[in-house]
Amino acid sequence: MSEHIVPVKTYAAVFIALICGTLLTTGIAYVDLGTWNTVVALAIAVAKMMLVVLFFMHVKYNRGMTRIVLIAAFFWLGIMICFSLSDELTRHWEYNPLPWTESALLPYISHLLL
Amino acid sequence: MWIFLATEILFFGGMFTSYTIYRALHLSAFEAGSHLLEVKFGATNTAILICSSLTMALAIHAAATGKKKSQIVTYLILTMLLGATFLGIKLWFEWHHDYVDGIAPGLNWTYNGPYAPGVQMFMCFYFFMTGLHALHMVIGIGVLTVLTIMAARGRFTEKYYAPLEITGLYWHFVDIVWIFLFPLLYLIGGRYSGGGH
């Protein structure tokens, strides 16, 4: 447990920042940014999460084990999301094997030699 | 507690991952589904949860700085009331209305607009993700009830307030889950246009 006492002023500032972030993300959702809508929404969500984690959950004042567990959790989450997506999003390719003949391989061989 | 929260990150992470995959596969349907949700309720509930996180943090602060027990109890009760308000809005203005409007898969489904099967899938994700989040909040309110009784009996001092601190971590974590659910479910469906593309 952290022995560090966070001043109420800090909590108030974080609270105001979180409310502003909520208003901002809601407002931006009505502006057409194309793909960037998702990116901006997630970036604001990550920023809000960092504020909660660092100040409300005192991670800014905790080192060592707390941070290791937190970083490990997000690392696992990253593995889960990246590997699931790399599987799912590459499933629907056309499977089109090349015939094992000289004429089909010739361009590749000549490419390698040149 | 942090190790428990790590398992919780992966528990909700599994749902976020499958949501991402199915959103990628049925983008238009998910955007149409997102339009069925009311941004005003989602945004209000986000603000309510942020307020409750603040009162939770202030309850811990009051205990850690040796304030009177009435102050700790007040902040804890405020936190519970804000949590209950969140659940009330969720239950009555959102879930109940979804049911009445016929966009509750399995219970009452009468939606037959474009991309209906995909929209049904989106609403399934919506109900499961917000439902599990709400379940976490119910558990949180239960734990806070116990803490309020303990605080009222003067159990917490500036030397001993670990239960408050640990419950605070849990409560903030549930807040963070909502911070991600709100944009993913309510916002990124292309709010600027009339509906799915």
Residue pLDDT, tens place only, B162-174: 999 999 999 999 9
Which residues on chain B are in Cβ contact (under 8 Å) with A84?
A: 17-18, 21
Task: Write down the pLDDT at residue A96.
Answer: 64
Task: Write down the pLDDT at residue B112.
Answer: 86
* Chain B residue with the nearest C-alpha to that of A46: B180
Does the distance separating the beta carbons of A29 and B24 come in below 8 Å?
no
Instruction: Report yes or no on A10 lying in a domain.
Output: yes
Residues A71 and A55 in one domain: no
Q: How many domains does chain A have?
A: 2
Q: What tens digit of pLDDT does each residue of B61-74 get?
A: 999 999 999 999 99
Q: Do B188 and A37 touch, CB atoms closer than 8 A?
A: yes
Q: Range of A75's domain?
A: 64-95
Residues A39 and A71 in one domain: no
Q: Does A1 have pLDDT greater than 50?
A: no
Task: Write down the pLDDT at residue B189.
Answer: 75
- In this structure, what is the dihedral angle of CA atoms A44, A49, A51, A53, given to the nearest 10 degrees? -170
Does the distance separating the beta carbons of B50 and A22 come in below 8 Å?
yes
Residues A48 and A11 in one domain: yes
Which residues on chain B are in Cβ contact (under 8 Å) with A5?
A: 61, 64-65
Residues A50 and A71 in one domain: no
d(CA B101, CA B61): 44
Does the distance separating the beta carbons of A57 and B168 come in below 8 Å?
yes
Instruction: Please identify which residue in the block is written with the tokens 């995959």.
Output: B21
Least confident stretch, A31-40, B41-50, B119-128, B152-161: A31-40
Per-residue confidence band for B195, with pLDDT thresholds at 50, 70 and 90:
very low
Residues A47 and A71 in one domain: no
Instruction: Report yes or no on A45 lying in a domain.
Output: yes
Pairwise pLDDT comparison (A2 vs A57), residue with the higher score? A57
Task: Please state the ipTM of this predicted complex.
Answer: 0.90
Q: What tens digit of pLDDT does each residue of A15-38 get?
A: 999 999 999 999 999 988 888 889
Residues A24 and A44 in one domain: yes
Does the distance separating the beta carbons of A45 and B46 come in below 8 Å?
no
Segment holding A11, helix H or strand E: helix A8-28
Residues A28 and A78 in one domain: no
Percent of chain B at pLDDT exceeding 90: 84
Pairwise pLDDT comparison (A13 vs A36), residue with the higher score? A13
Residues A80 and A40 in one domain: no
Pairwise pLDDT comparison (A99 vs B5), residue with the higher score? B5
Strand partners, B43: none
Instruction: Report yes or no on A100 lying in a domain.
Output: no
The residue-averaged pLDDT of A73-80 equals 95
User: pTM of the predicted model, to two decimals?
Assistant: 0.88
The residue-averaged pLDDT of A68-96 equals 87
Task: Write down the pLDDT at residue A90.
Answer: 82
Does the distance separating the beta carbons of B2 and A66 come in below 8 Å?
yes
Task: Write down the pLDDT at residue A100.
Answer: 66
The residue-averaged pLDDT of A47-54 equals 96
Residues A41 and A89 in one domain: no
Q: Which of residues 2-61 of A touch B (CB under 8 A)?
A: 2, 5-6, 8, 11-12, 15, 18-19, 22-23, 25-26, 29-32, 37-38, 41-42, 44-45, 48-49, 52-53, 55-57
Per-residue confidence band for B191, with pLDDT thresholds at 50, 70 and 90:
confident
Does the distance separating the beta carbons of B65 and A1 come in below 8 Å?
no
Does the distance separating the beta carbons of A44 and B24 come in below 8 Å?
no
Residues A55 and A81 in one domain: no
Q: What tens digit of pLDDT does each residue of B139-170 get?
A: 999 999 999 999 999 999 999 999 999 999 99
Half-sphere exposure of A100 (CA within 13 A, CB side): 0
Q: Does B46 have pLDDT greater than 60?
A: yes
Instruction: Report yes or no on A20 lying in a domain.
Output: yes
The phi and psi torsions of B111 (rounded to 5 degrees) equal: -65, 130
Average pLDDT score over chain B? 93
The residue-averaged pLDDT of A75-85 equals 94
d(CA B141, CA B100): 28
Average pLDDT score over chain A? 86
The whole-angstrom distance between A94's CA and the closest CA on chain B is 17
Residues A34 and A69 in one domain: no
The residue-averaged pLDDT of B10-18 equals 95
Domains along the sequence of chain B with CATH? 2-24+32-187 (1.20.120.80)
Q: List % helix, strand, coil for chain B (3-state, nearest 5).
A: 80, 0, 20
